[in-house]
Structure 1
Amino acid sequence: MRRIIAEDPDWSLAIVASLSNLCLLSIVTHFEEKPIFDQLTPIQKDFVQERLSTSLRLRVTANLISDGVYWRRCCEQRWDLCDVSHYGHSWKRMFFERHLESIIELFIPDTTESRLVLEMVPLCKNYVKRLDLSQLLPPLKEEEEEEGSELASENEYDGPSVDHFDFNILLDKLTNLEELHLVYRVKQCGMNFEWKMFEMTDRDCELLTKALKSCKSLKLLRLHQSHIEDKKCRLLVKCLLDHPALKELDFSHNLIGDRGARALGKLLARSNLETLNLCDNDIRGPGARAIAHSLSKNSTLLSLNLRLNRVRDEGGQAIGKALLNNNTLLHLHLGGNEVTWHTAVALSKVIVQNNTLRSINLSCNNLGVDGGKALEEAMSHNSSVTECDIRLTEVDEQSVSSINQVVWTNQSSYRKRHAQEIKTK
């Protein structure tokens, strides 16, 4: 007997490809030279997307292939972790956001050509809604000249043109950008460590302020761990005073002091901010009083985080007094601020009178027994606070138990109301 062994292991005499499938396979093979996609039916598009090479040039696929199987394959082949829920369940959005992030994070000023970024804009601008940048590289250091060599003339080298990536070349072109997360640092500096690798320079700040003015769609700005002090904070706030869309501002883990806090107080008075995060800065009593002054007149802010500052009772009492005239704020965090029972008493008056506040965090402060008693008495008259964190505050255990019992009751009532609202809808 004679045996015939097929070269194609998937070949079978019982399965003969249809003419339409052969045509679609031809489209897949020659897609880069002659891309045909819009004319296909949905079933045919799925067939093509499952077989197209993920190494095709983006200028061919970006604005032609719709969100679906092809972009999922591109993402899963390039990255190990692909949680599409973080990208509005859009694989195409995930691919272009992460691809653009990688280009910017590896961009070296005066070395990488700006063309690499600008060429991506027409391809990705319709899909990029968030940029989360975990590093920004500085220019390459000039090699030191050998001993005995002649000194270069002053005009021969004037230093790098920028200290980090210049966002002016990009932000005004990303018309759908809603969130920008920045940190001025280098993730893997090795033996080349220098402190300046972990801070925003004055020139960076000036360039970023210009770029932010042009980004009218921005709703969230997060600029953390970047050595931002009062001068830079004031420059940034100045460009954000009349921003049309900004809702959330996060300047956590920086060096902002009282002068920067005063500028942020002006921002609260002239913007529509809903969330302000100033965790882990150097804001003290005067700065907290400036924020409190604006808070008493503000009608948009929902969350204020001042954790790990030094507002002490001067600032804590001012905020408590401001909240007596505020019916908007839902969440207040004053943990780790060296406040005492005086602040607890001021906030107790708020708890009794204000029915808007939902959560208060006073953890890691020395409230003492008197502060605990004041909060306990106030909570017995409150039905809106569903979170009251008083861990590590030297409050008496009996007061802690009573406060927690009221919180649990309020939580249960809130869940019932929420469920009832859903049913009525």
Structure 2
Amino acid sequence: MQQPVADGRSTAVPWMYPSQSNRTADSYSVHRIIEDPEWSLVTVPHLTELCLQHIVQNFEKNPILDRLLPEHQKKVLDRLPTGLPLAVTANIINDEDYWKRCCMERWQVCDIDNYGGSWKRMFFERHLENTLKCFIPNSTDPKQVLELIPLCKDYVWKLEVDQFLPPVKVDQNEEEDDLSDTASDMGLSEVTMNHYDLGLLITALPHLEELHLTYNVKDCGMNFEWNLFNFTYQDCCNLAIAVRMCHSLKVFKLTRSQVDDDKTRLLVRNLLDHPSLVELNLSHNLIGDKGAQAIGKLINHSRLEILDLCNNQIGHLGAQALAQALAENSTLTSLNLRLNCLEDEGGEAIGHALLTNTTLKFIHLGSNNLSEPTATLFSQVLSQNNTLMSINFTCNHLGLDGGKQLLEGLADNKTLTEFDLRLAEVGQETEYLIHQIVWANWEAARPESLQHPPTNPL
């Protein structure tokens, strides 16, 4: 039976049997039950733990990471949220696990091998790329990019931007009324369609080695307009100056951007004698013979090792200019001319250059409307050239006789380890015999190639 006590809590008093009624009060004890709903068996945290919690909660205002012991730094970094301002974390936190969390929470696909094995580099390169892809000239505040420079400049080695947004037209109908058809044909409307100028950014990145750009708009949907894919002359001028000033740049790719002859010549003028550029990719553009002639000059006024001109409009005149440069060049190891219009006159010019060239290892001449005359000359190349490791003649019309001549040229060749003749009309038997010779060459070269086939950069 419980009886109330003065302090408002309940007290348990045991029953007393009649036989025990004469016992004194000292012969039994009174049990008191106190109910506390906030009582917990959890141990009170250590003072150190409380301090670390306070540091984490106030890190944005007071980032004192460098004052902590290493074991305490690790605990703080493991608890920090990934949404902290980059102005706070960029130059303070170098812990790869923290930046790994930042990357994994933001992007579904994270291949660290493409970023030198560094999660921090991946985060800043991709963050900067996304900022550039979403930048709208005359609408987005340029400070959004410029303020990133001091935060990411030490962690950016490569930029891949596959979209540049044009300015937003305020009143499209009014603009169309103001611009006559003649003015539009003269390119006067280009002034309003210039994209973000990369000049200030590129020249402020001291470690930038690779720049991959495409001037178009992805996923434009029903808002498709041709001017969304217009790489203007002013864009080209700004980019050319920026690339010239970026002395650390080794790889420059400008693809699918409607680069024509005039823009090619502008780019080349600014790339002549570049101190570090070794790879140039201008594939899937509108480069013709005049542009190829300019690139021919670049070949012998640079350190280029890889040149990709795939899917352009280069004819035999452009091929002859490239061949003349190739005959004198001593640095280029890879040349891709696939999907152009060389024809036999251009193919033969390239072949003559390869009779004297001693550095080129990989050449791609697929889909160039080549036929037996080119095969005849390359038969001579195969018998004399001791440098070429890979030739691609796919999707041409070399013919049965052309295939037989290539087979004869390969008789004493010991260096060619890859020869692609698919859809070249040389005949199955000839293609098989050529494959046997090339395979034997590769087998003989296996110790030098670390047990792997040659890696063709094309």
TM over 0.5: yes
- 1:347-381 Cα distance to aligned partner (Å, 9 max, x none): 12121111111100000000001111111112221
2:52 matched to which residue of 1?
24
CA 1:373–1:25 in 2, change beyond 3 Å: closer, same or farther?
Answer: same
- 1:255-290 Cα distance to aligned partner (Å, 9 max, x none): 100000000000001000010000000000010010
Q: Is the 8 A contact 1:246 1:272 kept in 2?
A: yes
Give the Cα separation in 2 of the matches to 1:112 and 1:237.
Answer: 31
Q: Shift of residue 20 of structure 1? A: 3.6
Give the Cα separation in 1 of the matches to 2:38 and 2:296.
Answer: 77
Worse overlay, 49-58 or 38-47: 38-47
TM-score (ref. length: structure 2) = 0.84
Q: Shift of residue 145 of structure 1? A: 6.3
1:183 matched to which residue of 2?
214
Q: In the alignment, residue 321 of structure 2 is paired with which amino acid?
A: A
CA 1:237–1:410 in 2, change beyond 3 Å: closer, same or farther?
Answer: same
**1:127-146 paired onto structure 2 within 5 Å:** 127-144=155-172
1:83 matched to which residue of 2?
111
Q: In the alignment, residue 398 of structure 1 is paired with which amino acid?
A: E
1:332 matched to which residue of 2?
363
Q: Does 1:319 align with 2:358?
A: no
Q: In the alignment, residue 296 of structure 2 is paired with which amino acid?
A: G
Give the Cα separation in 2 of the matches to 1:315 and 1:130.
Answer: 35
Aligned sequence identity (%): 50
Which residue of 339, 346, 353 maps to 2:377?
346
1:252 matched to which residue of 2?
283
Secondary structure class of the residue paired with 1:221: strand
Worse overlay, 35-44 or 204-213: 35-44
Secondary structure class of the residue paired with 2:363: strand
Q: Does 1:54 align with 2:82?
A: yes
Q: Shift of residue 206 of structure 1? A: 1.2
- 1:20-68 Cα distance to aligned partner (Å, 9 max, x none): 4433332212211111222334443332221101111111100000041
2:296 matched to which residue of 1?
265
CA 1:2–1:400 in 2, change beyond 3 Å: closer, same or farther?
Answer: farther
Give the Cα separation in 2 of the matches to 1:16 and 1:404.
Answer: 76
Give the Cα separation in 2 of the matches to 1:34 and 1:122.
Answer: 20
Give the Cα separation in 2 of the matches to 1:324 and 1:159.
Answer: 46
Secondary structure class of the residue paired with 1:300: coil
Give the Cα separation in 1 of the matches to 2:111 and 2:382.
Answer: 40
Q: Does 1:69 align with 2:97?
A: yes
TM-score (ref. length: structure 1) = 0.91
Secondary structure class of the residue paired with 2:127: helix
Give the Cα separation in 1 of the matches to 2:440 and 2:35.
Answer: 80
Q: Does 1:392 align with 2:423?
A: yes
Give the Cα separation in 2 of the matches to 1:161 and 1:374.
Answer: 56
Give the Cα separation in 2 of the matches to 1:3 and 1:131.
Answer: 65
Q: In the alignment, residue 141 of structure 1 is paired with which amino acid?
A: K
2:29 matched to which residue of 1?
none
Q: Is the 8 A contact 2:190 2:232 kept in 1?
A: no
Which residue of 293, 297, 308 maps to 2:324?
293
Give the Cα separation in 1 of the matches to 2:442 and 2:192.
Answer: 56
- 1:72-118 Cα distance to aligned partner (Å, 9 max, x none): 11111111111111101111111111111111111111111111110
Give the Cα separation in 2 of the matches to 1:12 and 1:301.
Answer: 74
Q: Is the 8 A contact 2:359 2:387 kept in 1?
A: yes
C-alpha RMSD over aligned residues: 2.3
Give the Cα separation in 2 of the matches to 1:256 and 1:3.
Answer: 87
Q: Does 1:414 align with 2:433?
A: no
- 1:276-316 Cα distance to aligned partner (Å, 9 max, x none): 00000000001001000000111111100000001011111
Give the Cα separation in 2 of the matches to 1:250 and 1:12.
Answer: 68
Secondary structure class of the residue paired with 1:415: coil
Q: In the alignment, residue 165 of structure 1 is paired with which amino acid?
A: Y
Worse overlay, 119-128 or 36-45: 36-45
Q: Is the 8 A contact 1:181 1:222 kept in 2?
A: yes
1:381 matched to which residue of 2?
412
Structure 1 gap ranges (5+) = 153-157, 421-425
Secondary structure class of the residue paired with 1:294: helix
Structure 2 gap ranges (5+) = 1-32, 180-188, 452-458
CA 1:60–1:344 in 2, change beyond 3 Å: closer, same or farther?
Answer: same
Secondary structure class of the residue paired with 1:343: helix
